Structure 1
Amino acid sequence: MELESSKKRNLIIAVIMIGAFISSLSMSLLSSALPSIMRDFKVTANIGQWLTTIYMMVMGIMTATTAFLINRFSTRKLFMFSMSIFLIGCIFSMFANNFIYLVISRMLQAAGAGVMMPLLQVVVLKLFPIEGRGRAMGVVGLVVGFAPTIGPTLSGLVVDSFGWRSLFYILTFISILVIISAYFLLENIGTTMKSSLDILSLILYALGFCGIMLGVTNEGSYGWISVSTYLPFVIGVICLLVFTLRQFKIKTPLLELRVFKNHNFTVINILIILAYMALMSATVIIPIYVQSMRGYSAFYSGLLMLPGSVLLAVLSPLTGHLLDKYGARSVFITGMIFLLVGTLAFSFLSSNTPLIYLSIMYCFRMIGLAFLLMPLTTWGVSSLDEKYISHGTAIINTIRQMAAAAGTAMLVTVMVTAAKNNKNTSQVLASIHGVNISFEVSSVLIIIGLIISILYFKKDRN
């Protein structure tokens, strides 16, 4: 009976994991295809990166609703509906005939994808006892870390051979298979309860998040003194402040922010912000450097990331086990050190840096992220009471998406701005200078994370 129950549990997790994997894969799948799309639709890097940024923004907005959705709707119904929305977005992307249409189709994909990861994490946390959560969530780390990092490699291979539209043919085909499998195999986990979605909170959050992101992105084109930059940024900050105050006053908040009274949970979220800013920024910037500044194909830019992606896949379950065995301090400090070494190495790129150097340093980054991505989430959520797991998971995933989107927009903006201000007569050398400055900024953020890990996590705080 126990064996049958274990098989059923693994089957449920497998179905949801595949759906979460392709939705997470889609987030970075356009990284290596971005230069081709930019050429086809005649847009700049600052505009083109919105295909990734808008995806993460919409995912962040949707993720904020998952505590309500997971408690309100059955696992099966929620998964099927979300996958269907993702599928519709993929179909629209296949036939996009202009950049705006492609952006809208990406928003549809993100609306479906935003539910997948929190749903998977909540299901795993409910099905496994606390002493086994590290290892179980380590497997989930394959989705969180491996999918976005394998995206550029897969994208490069497919784009060079068949063009960027073929990426969406693949996603469409897999999505259809997942929906069919879920119809026959997926069962409900936990119970549902009647609750209401606070629409005003959702609007405030969406305006706040998008306003800040728009301001950060526009800085690269207009500068901070432009109304196009500071107006949306200020509106965004005000909306998020009002949103935060409202969550403490209403009976059923969109996000239960009282969980931040737990100091462990608060510190974990700070580290998650730093880790995800580092993860997604490199995923976008490295392909631009390899293709646009060095002249290599999309396949090569993806191929140099492949060893690091494989390392992340292999190490993710292991780091979950290490978290269960040795606690947070050793795991988090190790992760920050590896991430810092790999990121700092990217701030010394030139016009003739060997690709093998990029690949090796990218491996260091992926080793670091394997020690950080899911261990941070697992440790943070496990520090909360059982009744707050769905809210804690929603908050962590919301912050993860915000950090990834903000990191991409901010560090691409730093890259573009530094390139513009560089006095070098060569456009390529000026652009490479921008890349180096961007990774220097990223390195500073990781140093902050390392200091926090050393000072906060003591040996008795496991």
Structure 2
Amino acid sequence: MTTIAGQQQETIKTTPILISFLIAGFIGLFSETALNMALGDLIQQFGVGSSTIQWLTTGYLLTLGILVPVSGLLLQWFSTRQLFIAALAFSVTGTLIAALAPSFSILMVARVIQAIGTGLLLPLMFNTILLIFPIHRRGAIMGLMGLVIMFAPAIGPTISGFLIENLSWHWIFWVSLPFLVFALVFGIMFMQNVSVITKPKIDITSIVLSSLGFGGIVYGFSTAGESGWGSFIVIASIAVGFVSLFLFSIRQFKMDQPMINLRVFKYPMFTLGLAAVFIAFMVILSSAILLPLYLQTGLGLAAVTAGLILLPGGVLNGLMSPITGRIYDKYGPRGLVIPGFSIIIITLWNLSGVTTATTAVTIVVLNTLLMVGVSLVMMPAQTNALNQLPKDLYPDGTALMNTLQQVSGAIGTAVAITIMSSTQSTYMQTVSDPNSASAIPEALTAGVQNAFTFGLVLAVIGLVISFFIKSVHLAKEEAPQGKVVENT
């Protein structure tokens, strides 16, 4: 137990706080990834194309890309309890609407509401962990978070496949709802305020520029799947996004109290770690949407079978997180991140050669290796990046880390689907009989091959970056001001 002098002290019980975040994060990520297995059914039920159905994922990420940058400001305006309860309230509301959704548009609205909850929860979770746990324990705690959070996307496709086969996709959300309600009640009972509320000045111009910047980039990349990369709306959206971010950055450096303090980029390990996480997240989210489509359409497997094939990799990813966290605490990030990207490269090379004759066992092995590689990269790179920041920059660092993760996920998903769809169209134009039973699976598989090649290029860039990442060694930190930290 660490004691800080002060007139009024409050005991921070770290275990209930950690449990509250783990339950909420687990269910949030479960409902996000579980829906991927239902995309094939949703395309048929709602009568939309793959480029449109991807908005259930990219629209979710677009909302996060707009909201999460503001989270650094929100963390300084509202207490930990207020933000946690608000996040869970949005998640519960969005999940209930999704469970009842009769159409694509209603489901899309529900996903946006869910994303607001996640957008509030993620930065709050990481900022709180940084405040209540000392630097020498963060690797293990991040690993524990990874164990629980990574297990959600692991079992998500399997459970959703079973639900789709026996009930309907609506039950993906009905199953999630009681757990979210429990997380909300548990948080109301045990969540404590650990942050210092400073209420900095709200700069509307910065909020507008941030929203236009991150939102424009995500929207432009996402729309490219339907409109094509040469369309005016795509080019204009991406251009507006980059120009807005440029103006946003200039404004932040000139402000005494910036919305997001971009001086975090002067810390080299933060910048390199952010780049590594950015790439890893692009790879994992693009793979998470490509593999279910390939397994169901390319190989003609049932949803529940496809979910079982993806299960071992996700489970192993979760089980490895505490191990990688403890290795990081002892030896630093390089011995994890470099082998991680190497494994990802080897796996994506093999996935870029899948065919309609590839066996299910091969996909199990390749997906498992991919998940192992990702687990070696994500938590160590993220923890090392945030560890280099001083305490006053934690809200800014976590806001940027989570924002760019979501933006990278949206870009990776959009580009992968665009590559897959365009290759499909080109392939169908070359076949002699487009109506043959084998044409559609072969066309989609060709698209998946090219999409995984895109991921392979990203992984090579990540490997180059990983050689420059070094371990961060800082002195042990004190507890939050006026608090007593009880690490149980």
TM-score range, shorter chain: over 0.9
Deviation string, structure 1 residues 325-357 (Cα, Å, up to 9, x no partner):
111211110111122222222111111111111
Give the structure-1-normalised TM-score.
0.95
Alignment of 1:149-164 (within 5 A): 149-164=154-169
1:457 aligns with 2:466: no
Question: Partners of 1:213 and 1:275 in 2: how far apart?
Answer: 17
| 1:305 partner SS | helix
| Greater CA drift, 375-384 or 92-101 | 92-101
Give deviations 1:217-238, integer Å, cap 9, x for gaps.
Answer: 3333332222132122222222
In the alignment, structure 1 residue 277 sits paired with structure 2 residue 282:
yes
Please say if 1:112 is aligned against 2:117. Answer: yes
Q: Deviations over 1:384-424 (max 9, x none)?
A: 11111121111111111111111101111111112222334
Residue 239 of structure 2 corresponds to 234
Unpaired segments of 5 or more residues in structure 1? none
Pairing 1:364-383 to 2, within 5 Å after superposition: 364-383=369-388
| C-alpha deviation, 1:140, in angstroms | 1.6
Aligned to 1:415: 420
When structure 1 is superposed on structure 2, of 66-75 and 357-366 the one drifting more is: 66-75
Answer yes or no: is 1:339 the counterpart of 2:352.
no
CA distance in 2, matches of 1:377, 1:196: 29
Mapping of residues 59-458 of structure 1, within 5 Å: 59-422=64-427, 423-425=430-432, 426-454=439-467, 456-457=468-469
Point out which structure has higher relative CO (alpha carbons under 8 A, 6+ apart). Answer: 2
Q: CA deviation at 1:460?
A: 9.6
2: CA distance, partners of 1:149 / 1:197 = 40
Tell me the distance in 2 between the aligned counterparts of 1:428 and 1:301.
15
Describe the shift of the 1:154–1:60 C-alpha distance in structure 2 as closer, same or farther (beyond 3 A).
farther
Paired residues of 1:347 and 1:436 also in contact (CA < 8 A): yes
Aligned-partner residue type, residue 360 of structure 1? V
Kept after mapping to 2: 8 A contact 1:158/1:166 = yes
SS in 2 for 1:248: helix
Say which of 4, 9, 12 aligns to 2:14. Answer: 9
CA displacement 1:6-44 (0-9 Å, x = unmatched): 993111110122112212222212100111111110111
Contact conserved, 1:222 with 1:229, CA < 8 A, in 2?
A: yes
The unaligned stretches of length 5 or more in structure 2 are: 3-9, 433-438, 475-488
How many residues end up aligned between the 2 structures?
A: 459
The range that moved more, 189-198 or 361-370, is 189-198
- Structure 1 residue 461: Cα displacement: 8.7
Q: Aligned equivalents of 1:11 and 1:381: distance in 2?
A: 23
Output one character per residue of 1:110-147: Cα deviation in whole Å (capped at 9) or x when no partner. 00111212212122211111111111111122355333
CA displacement 1:76-114 (0-9 Å, x = unmatched): 111011100111111111222221111111000000111
Deviates more, 1:207-216 or 1:334-343: 207-216
Distance 2:234 2:83 in 1: 37
Give the structure 2 partner of residue 38 of structure 1. Answer: 43
CA distance in 2, matches of 1:460, 1:132: 13
Change (3 A) 1:24 1:326: same
Aligned residues of 1:198 and 1:252 also touching (Cα < 8 A): no
Which amino acid letter does the alignment assign opposite residue 411 of structure 1?
A: A
Q: Rate the CA distance shift 1:329–1:96 in 2: closer, same or farther, 3 A.
A: same
Kindly indicate whether the alpha-carbon contact (under 8 Å) linking 1:121 and 1:137 is maintained by their aligned counterparts in 2. no
Superposition deviation, residue 66 in structure 1: 1.8
Between the aligned partners of 2:268 and 2:72, the Cα distance in structure 1 is 21
CA distance in 1, matches of 2:339, 2:154: 20
Q: Which region of structure 1 is more displaced relative to structure 2, 325-334 or 178-187? A: 178-187
Q: 436-445 or 198-207: which moved more?
A: 198-207
Question: CA offsets per residue over residues 227-281 of structure 1, 9 Å max, x none?
Answer: 1321222222222222222221223222111110111111111111110000100
Cα distance in 1 for residues equivalent to 2:472 and 2:401: 24
Which is worse superposed, 115-124 or 423-432? 423-432
Instruction: Quote the offset at 1:459 in angstroms.
Output: 8.1
Check whether the contact 1:144–1:374 (CA below 8 A) recurs between aligned residues: no
Q: Tell me which residue corresponds to 2:484.
A: none
Q: Secondary structure at the match of 1:135?
A: helix
Conserved 8 A contact 1:23-1:116: no
Contact 2:12 2:194 in 1 (8 A): no
Deviation by residue 1:152-198 (Cα, 9 ceiling, x = unmatched): 22221222222100111122211111111122222221322222333
Which stretch has the larger CA shift, 116-125 or 190-199? 190-199
2:169 is paired with a residue of what secondary structure?
coil
Give 1:296 deviation, angstroms: 1.3
CA distance in structure 2 between the aligned counterparts of 1:192 and 1:7, rounded to whole angstroms? 17
SS at structure 2 position matched to 1:43: coil
> Is the contact between residue 142 and residue 313 of structure 1 (CA under 8 Å) also seen in structure 2?
yes
TM-score by length of 2: 0.90
SS at match of 1:372: helix
Q: 1:60 to 1:26 in 2, by over 3 A?
A: farther
- Kept in 2, the 8 Å contact 1:144–1:373? The answer is no
- What is the rounded CA distance, in whole Å, between the counterparts of 1:102 and 1:49 in structure 2? 12
How big is the alpha-carbon RMSD for the aligned residues of Structure 1 and Structure 2?
2.0
Dislocated runs of 4+, deviation >4 Å: 458-462
Partner residue in 1 for 2:34: 29
Q: CA deviation at 1:447?
A: 0.8
The 10-residue stretch of structure 1 (34-43 or 177-186) with the greater mean CA deviation from structure 2: 177-186
